[in-house]
Structure 1
Amino acid sequence: MSVANPRLRLVNDSETAVEPVVRLRQLNRHFGKNHILRDLDLDIGKSEFIALLGRSGSGKTTLLKLLAGIDQADGGEFTAPANRTVVFQEPRLLPWKKVWENVALGLPGSEGRTRALQALEEVGLAHRVDAWPGTLSGGEAQRAALARALVREPELLLLDEPFASLDALTRIRMHGLVDALWRAHRPAVLIVTHDVDEALLLADRVLMLDQGRITLDEPVAAARPRTLADPQIQAQRTRLLARLGVTPKGEDRP
């Protein structure tokens, strides 16, 4: 598939093997002289759950936007499924449409409503299908956004810090919901997060991005379901926090 930028080769799904779902090679993105992503290589396997960590400004959201098709790289090879969806930090529900109508956006007729109602039941919002978005709590709105993403049965689900604005208890519930939905639907998932605990509880692999390069790529070995009390999780948490510059006392290193 040809693209406007001659230095970026976007490989069509039909031209590549089924595995991996996402394949990036020597991907670059810059704004003027500011290089956001540098010669980045990444594979994401079918149904694999990846967490992407990194300090602010490391390029995490830029990478997610490239994978989502919202932005375009300046060079490299890029393979991703056409059927991919995004859940952002803000639910981005249309306030003039009811909850089920938001979930059914782009889906045809009565089939769209049926699928939307099924998706809303799956995320625990069967009682809110006819509600207006402005009446939802933060957790309910984010569940509606998840339903909207999953109703399309994506091969790749992209999550851009979707729980950052939620309170601690709601985040815990959302972690359980996302894990259950991933097990049921089995899309490949990339979640961008600042939360090391979230990454370790949800992901198969944890990546760390620093100055536009992946500087760490390691599996989460602990068996599911996971708890933060697991010694394996605690040890990996300590290592990851140290890589992010956080001391045991919680103070950032200079």
Structure 2
Amino acid sequence: MATRLIPPPTATVRGVRRSFGGTPVLDDLHLDLVPGELVALLGRSGSGKSTLLRLLAGLDRPDAGQVTVPGTVSVAFQEPRLFPWRRVGRNVELALREGTRTERRDRARSALAEVGLTEKASVWPVTLSGGQAQRASLARALVREPELLLLDEPFSALDALTRIEMHALVLDVWARHRPAVLLVTHDVDEALTLADRVIVLDQGRIALDIAVRSARPRDLHSPDLVEHRERLLAQLGVELPGRVTA
């Protein structure tokens, strides 16, 4: 009988501690992100979500412990962070460090086409809507074909309909490329809509880790997702109407 090979994690976090001004934000944190997994990270403000993302992105270092990400990493932030003095296509090209000018331009245009912005390559960022700017930011993250894609609350400033469109887009490009994805969010419903796994950080540690096995597209009113939602909200300290607490 053939032995099934298990691929190594895309990212590992082992015993990580990080403090600011003497206050611990991450405390002996352990986490694996596996190839092709879409993980949502929840937590109250100050729980360490953005700190963990910065460590995985290589933008910060832990005080103790080890963060290992052997492959390519890309980040899309809450703000699109497009340079206003460069056209949209050139903004996407900036993520590329290799190839000729023509090769970089072609890859940038391909990434923009993937997020539905083919016709916007030559325009200035100021002319984009909020949703289009986030699509451009996502294209810039995807153009490097990362093994790990980090999304730091990228939809929080968008209106409800644009958020739904962006959810569908993220699932589409994730299914096509299959990177490991870590999505930082405050929105429990967003996490349950998108993720294979939802993690809650509390006081610098993982307080809850739920596998979401429902087929996509998901009905948030289905019994299993309602149960997940109640557990997540309870862990986040949100008291549901009608719930009797001891």
Scaled by the length of structure 2, the TM-score of the pair is: 0.92
Q: Give the deviation of 1:221 after TM superposition.
A: 2.1
Which residue does 2:3 correspond to in 1?
Answer: none
Bigger shift: residues 88-97 or 123-132: 123-132
**CA distance in structure 2 between the partners assigned to 1:201 and 1:58 by the alignment:** 22
Q: Give the paired residue count.
A: 236
Q: Does 1:238 align with 2:230?
A: yes
Which residue does 2:58 correspond to in 1?
Answer: 69
Gaps of 5+ in 1: 1-16
**CA distance in structure 1 between the partners assigned to 2:95 and 2:156 by the alignment:** 27
Which residue does 1:94 correspond to in 2?
Answer: 83
Q: Give the deviation of 1:172 after TM superposition.
A: 0.6
Which residue does 2:149 correspond to in 1?
Answer: 157
Q: 2:212 aligns with which of 216, 220, 226?
A: 220
Root-mean-square deviation over aligned CA pairs = 1.7
Moved over 4 A (4+): none
Counterparts of residues 164-243 of structure 1 (less than 5 Å) = 164-243=156-235
What SS class does the counterpart of residue 61 from structure 1 fall into? helix
**CA distance in structure 2 between the partners assigned to 1:46 and 1:106 by the alignment:** 22
**CA distance in structure 2 between the partners assigned to 1:35 and 1:152 by the alignment:** 33
**CA distance in structure 2 between the partners assigned to 1:196 and 1:190 by the alignment:** 14
Partners of 2:53 and 2:150 within 8 A in 1 = yes
Q: Give the deviation of 1:227 after TM superposition.
A: 2.5
Q: 1:29 aligns with which of 18, 21, 24?
A: 18
**CA distance in structure 2 between the partners assigned to 1:22 and 1:87 by the alignment:** 17
Scaled by the length of structure 1, the TM-score of the pair is: 0.89
Bigger shift: residues 222-231 or 65-74: 222-231
1:223-254 per-residue CA deviation (whole Å, 9 max, x = no partner) reads 12212232221221122112111122399x9x
Which residue does 2:133 correspond to in 1?
Answer: 141
1:97-148 per-residue CA deviation (whole Å, 9 max, x = no partner) reads 1111101114331001101111111101112111100000000000000000
What SS class does the counterpart of residue 85 from structure 1 fall into? strand
**CA distance in structure 2 between the partners assigned to 1:183 and 1:106 by the alignment:** 22
**CA distance in structure 2 between the partners assigned to 1:89 and 1:189 by the alignment:** 15
Quote the sequence identity (%).
60
